[in-house]
């Protein structure tokens, strides 16, 4: 019977500190969490000096999508993928395109619990050849996702991770070992914007991309946002980094739409086109969307 993640045995990636405090070592925030409080993401909690997972198996959304919507262009093209979302996020991008589930006001959160084995039964019943962990941030629910990925593989399903890449090396290697294909965001080339505006560390994200390249099929998405990623110089820096791993890695340049706390108008299609052309000086597979 499911315990809704409240069992302290279920959570990994944390360590004990003094005075009943704990430290989460899943993402770059490395939150020190006081007793009976939660980390920055609101999804990992200290109960009496041990970590519990208050949103374990809470599913926010399920849909069947074309795999190209993840986006993945060079992994099982032309197929559909059973797509699953959770609640909350490790980062704070003020333009979040999925803010209703990534940064939900408490009244938005609905308690729909689906255990990993039942989730995989639903995926199999859909007829899709793969399952995608997507929409909000799946890394935050790494214990659940790894469990579901293991069951998926035992039942012949491929596994897909769509993520912000904000996980430290050990959890990154654990989850990517069970992942067949990943799409990872690289949101800007500017370390300060990553840290101060988005709540991430570019070194951690780049390491995640490197580990993904070692362990599974990888594609990268860069969302073109005014004031965050809006210049040829930035897209060249991003493309150059990806090319240092392989010029074959696909890069998707997508166009932001005003959402959540961000109201700046989107970049013009011409600007997106110019950014894509610049990226093609480094990479063989560049896709742009507007
Ligand atoms: S996942 Fe990240 S944000 Fe959440 S508690 Fe752990 S270190 Fe903090």
> What span, in angstroms and rounded, lies between the C-alpha atoms of 255 and 289?
6
> What span, in angstroms and rounded, lies between the C-alpha atoms of 286 and 133?
23
Ligand 1 centre to CA of 218 (Å) is: 24
Instruction: Confirm or reject: Cβ of 30 under 6 Å from ligand 1.
Output: yes
DSSP symbol at 106? G
187 in Cβ contact with 222 (< 8 Å) = yes
Give the tokens for residue 158: 């491929």
- Give the pLDDT confidence score for residue 20 in this predicted structure: 97
SS3 for 182?
A: strand
Instruction: Confirm or reject: Cβ of 178 under 6 Å from ligand 1.
Output: no
> What span, in angstroms and rounded, lies between the C-alpha atoms of 97 and 260?
8
SS3 for 224?
A: strand
> Which stretches of the chain score pLDDT less than 50?
1
280 in Cβ contact with 240 (< 8 Å) = no
- Give the pLDDT confidence score for residue 142 in this predicted structure: 98
Strand partners, 224: 255
Pick from 178, 162, 175, 163: nearest CA to 81: 162
- CA separation, residue 194 to residues 91, 184, 189, 191, 197 (Å): 9, 15, 8, 5, 6
In order of their start, the domains of the chain are: 14-52 (no CATH), 61-288 (3.20.20.70)
Pick from 195, 193, 254: nearest CA to 220: 254
Cα torsion angle, 262, 199, 68, 151, sign: negative
Give the tokens for residue 77: 């093209």
Ligand 1 centre to CA of 162 (Å) is: 18
> What span, in angstroms and rounded, lies between the C-alpha atoms of 36 and 26?
19
- Give the pLDDT confidence score for residue 6 in this predicted structure: 73
- Give the pLDDT confidence score for residue 36 in this predicted structure: 96
Gap between the terminal Cα atoms of the chain: 46
- Give the pLDDT confidence score for residue 164 in this predicted structure: 98
Instruction: Confirm or reject: Cβ of 38 under 6 Å from ligand 1.
Output: no
Ligand 1 centre to CA of 169 (Å) is: 14
Beta strands in the chain (DSSP E): 14-16, 22-24, 32-33, 45-47, 50-52, 61-66, 80-85, 130-133, 158-163, 181-185, 217-224, 251-255, 286-288
Phi, psi of 132, deg, nearest 5? -115, 135
Ligand 1 centre to CA of 140 (Å) is: 7
Ligand 1 centre to CA of 167 (Å) is: 9
> What span, in angstroms and rounded, lies between the C-alpha atoms of 2 and 18?
30
Closest atom of ligand 1 to CA, residue 39: 5
Instruction: Confirm or reject: Cβ of 176 under 6 Å from ligand 1.
Output: no
> What span, in angstroms and rounded, lies between the C-alpha atoms of 266 and 5?
40
């Amino acid at each position: 019977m499911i315990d809704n993640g409240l069992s302290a045995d279920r959570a990994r990636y944390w360590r004990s500190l003094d005075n009943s405090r704990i430290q989460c070592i899943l993402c770059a925030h490395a939150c020190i969490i006081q007793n009976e409080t939660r980390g920055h993401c609101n999804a990992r909690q200290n109960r009496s000096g041990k970590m519990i997972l208050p949103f374990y198996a809470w599913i926010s959304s399920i849909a069947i999508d074309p795999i190209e919507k993840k986006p993945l262009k060079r992994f099982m093209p032309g197929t559909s993928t059973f797509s699953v979302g959770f609640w909350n996020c490790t980062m704070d991008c003020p333009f979040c395109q999925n803010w209703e589930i990534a940064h939900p006001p408490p009244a938005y959160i609905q308690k729909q619990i689906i255990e990993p084995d039942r989730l995989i039964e639903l995926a199999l019943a859909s007829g899709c050849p793969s399952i995608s962990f997507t929409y909000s941030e799946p890394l935050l629910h790494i214990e659940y996702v790894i469990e579901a990925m293991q069951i998926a593989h035992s039942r012949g399903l491929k596994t897909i991770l769509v993520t912000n890449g904000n996980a430290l090396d050990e959890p990154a290697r654990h989850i990517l070992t069970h992942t067949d294909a990943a799409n990872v965001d690289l949101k800007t080339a500017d370390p300060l914007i990553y840290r101060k505006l988005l709540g991430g560390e570019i070194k951690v994200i780049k390491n995640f991309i490197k580990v993904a390249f070692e362990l599974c099929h990888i594609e990268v998405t860069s969302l073109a946002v005014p004031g965050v990623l809006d210049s040829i110089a930035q897209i060249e820096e991003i493309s150059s980094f990806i090319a240092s791993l392989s010029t074959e890695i696909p890069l998707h340049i997508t166009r932001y739409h005003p959402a959540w706390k961000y109201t700046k108008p989107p970049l013009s299609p011409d600007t997106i086109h110019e950014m894509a052309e610049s990226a093609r000086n480094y990479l063989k597979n560049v896709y742009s969307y507007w």
